[in-house]
């Protein structure tokens, strides 16, 4: 039974609920930043990174449907580009302002983790 959980093919679930959930985490982080007196630039950087990553995801999903034979390489390049771009932005922010970079990284990591959890729930909760 345990192996059936991971070996049963399922259709790809929608992306709306996980994206909405991570957006909610980003939005709820703003009042925390304001009340705690943390650098608001960290929240802004996390929000900009979140929007950029989801914008790239939307472009990749569109490219996947337009060019079926190049879909795997387009997806692989997109995953690599997102990871490297995220690291470059956070390292540059860390050089300029370490506190701002930590605030942005932690905020984005919380949103990403929540989105991943919702994605797993929608995938494994889907009908087989």
Per-residue pLDDT at 60: 82
- pLDDT (tens digit, 9 = 90+) per residue, 49-95? 999 999 988 888 877 665 566 666 777 788 888 889 999 999 999 99
Parent domain of 78:
14-124
The pLDDT confidence band at residue 26, using thresholds 50, 70 and 90, is very high
Total of domains in the chain: 1
Torsion angle of C-alpha atoms 18, 23, 25, 31, degrees rounded to 10 = -170
The pLDDT of residue 112: 96
Helix axes 40-66, 71-96, angle to 10 degrees: 170
Q: Which of 87, 114, 95, 88 is nearest to 29 (CA)?
A: 114
Residue 3 is assigned to a structural domain of this protein: no
Whole-angstrom Cα distance, residue 104 to residue 74? 28
* Residue 114 located in a structural domain: yes
> What's residue 9's pLDDT?
74
**Residue 9 domain-assigned (yes or no):** no
Residue 4 lies inside a defined structural domain of this protein: no
Domain annotation covers residue 110: yes
Q: Is the pTM of this model over 0.75?
A: yes
Q: Is residue 7 part of a domain?
A: no
Checking if the pLDDT of 96 tops 80, the result is yes
The answer as to whether 29 is a domain residue is yes
Asked whether residue 8 is domain-assigned, the answer is: no
Comparing 11 with 112, which gets the higher pLDDT?
Answer: 112
């Amino acid at each position: 039974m345990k192996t059936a959980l991971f070996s049963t093919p399922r259709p790809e679930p929608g992306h709306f609920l996980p994206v909405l959930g991570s957006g909610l985490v980003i939005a709820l982080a703003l009042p925390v930043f304001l009340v705690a007196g943390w650098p608001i630039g960290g929240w802004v950087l996390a929000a900009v990174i979140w929007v950029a990553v989801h914008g790239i995801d939307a472009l990749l999903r569109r490219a996947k449907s337009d060019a079926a034979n190049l879909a795997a390489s387009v997806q692989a390049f997109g995953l690599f580009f997102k990871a490297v771009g995220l690291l470059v932005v956070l390292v540059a922010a860390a050089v300029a302002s370490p506190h701002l970079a930590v605030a942005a990284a932690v905020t984005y990591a919380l949103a990403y983790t929540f989105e991943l959890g919702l994605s797993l729930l929608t995938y494994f909760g889907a009908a087989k």
